[in-house]
Amino acid sequence: MAFSLFGSSPLAAQAARSQEFVPIKEIHDGIVVLDSGGLRGVFMCSSTNFALKSHDEQMAILSQFARFLDSLDFSVQLFVQSRKLDIRPYLATLEERYYAQKEELMKLQVREYINFIRSLTENSNIMSKHFFTVVPYDPPIATTLPGLGSLAKPSSSTTSQQAEALEQRDTFEEFRLQLEQRMDVVASGLAAAGIRVTQLGTEELIELFYQEFNVGELERPVQLTS
């Protein structure tokens, strides 16, 4: 599935040139395919209230996490995404409640509450954090996979090109199997340390990369009209 990391603003054409520096060919079935032919899977991880644990519990978590890292024979990337809290969906819900109110007193209270929440989030700079683990698989021999669209739909009906397309798809499936085996190892190790994980699908990965490259668009305030 092909996608654009940049929005549709007037500068989109110029910004699209920057996408040439992003080593992502495409995202398919929840797997990131790099230009180099490598594959990447991404887990979203839960957080742990480590400071609220007892000393023994903290030592147990650290020990289990250390054992998990020592058991790996491949590298993983731990990534923390920190963003200013996006309160717009909540404000939009409150705005619907505001217009649904029939009594003027209730409308006034809802309006004041909306202004209070907006002021609190703007002045306090409240942040939201999400935690991710990136699991890689790079083929032992440098292999550049073609776009998966070309794998599914050969450009020619000749027998040789169809056979080549099938061979390329088999190669991709082999690489994906290797990646999934690694992801199972990582998921089991993190679960043993008390960390829940969820693999990101195609849509979630697209949203993740879009947020990374379009931060400004995601921070536009919601205005309440009277």
- How does pLDDT run across 172-191, given as a tens digit for each residue? 888 899 999 999 999 999 99
pLDDT higher than threshold 60 for residue 152: no
Instruction: Give the residue carrying structure tokens 């082999």.
Output: 174
DSSP 8-state class, residue 141: S
27, with CB counted inside 10 A (0-12, 13-18, 19+), is buried
Q: Which residues lie across from 43 on neighbouring strands? A: 133, 199
DSSP state of 31: E
pLDDT digits (tens, 9 = 90+) for 6-56: 455 555 555 555 567 778 888 888 999 988 888 999 999 998 888 899 999
Is the whole model's pTM more than 0.85, yes or no?
no
Model confidence band, residue 2 (pLDDT cutoffs 50, 70, 90): very low
When pLDDT is cut at 50, 70 and 90, the band that residue 70 belongs to is very high
Q: Given pLDDT bands bounded at 50, 70 and 90, which one contains residue 88?
A: confident
Burial of 39 (0-12, 13-18, 19+ CB in 10 A): buried
User: What are 157-172's pLDDT values in tens digits?
Assistant: 556 655 655 666 777 8
Provide the pLDDT for residue 61.
Answer: 92
Token digits of residue 37: 């032919």
Contacts of 125 (CB under 8 A, 6+ apart): 84
- At residue 221, the pLDDT reads 41
Spatial separation of the C-alpha atoms in residues 2 and 206, rounded to whole Å: 10
At residue 167, what are phi and psi to the nearest 5 degrees? -65, -40
Q: Which two tokens stand for residue 109?
A: 């209270």
The residue behind tokens 């029939």 is 102
Going by C-beta distance under 8 Å and a sequence separation of 6 or more, which residues neighbour residue 37?
138, 139, 142, 143, 144, 145, 175
Amino acid, single-letter form, for residue 75: S
